[in-house]
Amino acid sequence: DVKVTQSSRYLVKRTGEKVFLECVQDMDHENMFWYRQDPGLGLRLIYFSYDVKMKEKGDIPEGYSVSREKKERFSLILESASTNQTSMYLCASSVGNNQPQHFGDGTRLSIL
Amino acid sequence: QKEVEQNSGPLSVPEGAIASLNCTYSDRGSQSFFWYRQYSGKSPELIMFIYSNGDKEDGRFTAQLNKASQYVSLLIRDSQPSDSATYLCAVDARGKLIFGQGTELSVKP
């Protein structure tokens, strides 16, 4: 079974802090994704990566950056956290394009 | 027009009935279609996926594709209260998945 592990289930940070969310997958998947999910807005793609050191902007990249230094790890960075970034953050991975994505358990992030 | 549309529900069915969930998509070039189940407070879990070459059955679940009308459906036979969740439809688009807003299903005992 695919295992996608997100570093924290719950996280509370203050406005202006730099926040790191980590995601690790154990299936040698090429593609990795970061989403946020908010009530009424559904799943929105923030960034994704097709390969090590590669990144592509999704639909809502503003205020975020990512890092993929190793194939199994994809990090999401909130450069200066703001209250409107309070959300559920979901990481996913897939073996390739147009293949099923497998999600981690999610990180519920609160910015105070 | 949204790229992937689902009726938000809630869809309520009695236990043992067939639940039918539908999803329409706008990109005629889409080749892969996915159904996820999401329980409240949990992450999406892949249930089924089909490619443009045909329908698929897996236990109580059947995914069907109508390419001409650009919709995909998920049938759940013998619905159980444990099937109560939000069901997300996703369609491939240029290497990414586009998700619908989800349909909330409630199965009443």
Q: Coil, helix or strand for B81?
A: helix
Q: Which of A103, A109, A104 is nearest to A88 (CA)?
A: A109
Residue ranges of A 54-73 with Cβ closer than 8 A to chain B: 58
Residue A104 touches chain B, beta carbons under 8 Å = yes
Half-sphere exposure of A70 (CA within 13 A, CB side): 9
Determine the residue of chain A that is closest to B46 in CA distance. Answer: A102
Distance from CA of B77 to the nearest CA of A (A): 23
- With a pLDDT cut of 70, the percent of chain A lying above it is 100
pLDDT band (50, 70, 90) for residue B1: low
Task: Please give the pLDDT value at position A32.
Answer: 96
Instruction: Work out the pLDDT band at B29, boundaries 50, 70, 90.
Output: confident
